Amino acid sequence: DTAVSQTPKYLVTQMGNDKSIKCEQNLGHDTMYWYKQDSKKFLKIMFSYNNKELIINETVPNRFSPKSPDKAHLNLHINSLELGDSAVYFCASSPTGTGNNEQFFGPGTRLTVL
């Protein structure tokens, strides 16, 4: 009965590879997000989708491509991985239109690029 789940939890890969991280929420929320947390614990928003539509696309290299097949899923594909992509990536979801916009986070995916 996990609310927001991510797979995999750990991802170790070589520079130049392509990898994907999957996210699913069973909370019935309309909005989903991807965040990057660097070594200083700073969480920075990357993308936000509302009901499968991209609404926030921060200054992120176009090697990063989110995909939302339905409003319960938001996947993140990363092409040509670089050393600087090493971080923890968090997926989150929130209800919208209710005035109560707290986000619920997944457990994170620790990506290590060698």
Binding site for other proteins (CB under 8 A): 4, 31, 33, 35, 40-45, 48, 50, 55-56, 90, 92, 94, 96, 100-108
Please report how close the Cβ of residue 42 comes to other proteins at its closest, in angstroms.
5
Cα–Cα distance for residue pair 70/57, rounded to 1 Å: 18
Nearer to other proteins, 13 or 103 (CB): 103
What secondary structure letter does DSSP report for 79? -
Cα–Cα distance for residue pair 87/110, rounded to 1 Å: 6
CA dihedral 103, 23, 67, 81 (to 10 degrees): 110
Please report how close the Cβ of residue 28 comes to other proteins at its closest, in angstroms.
16
Please report how close the Cβ of residue 85 comes to other proteins at its closest, in angstroms.
19
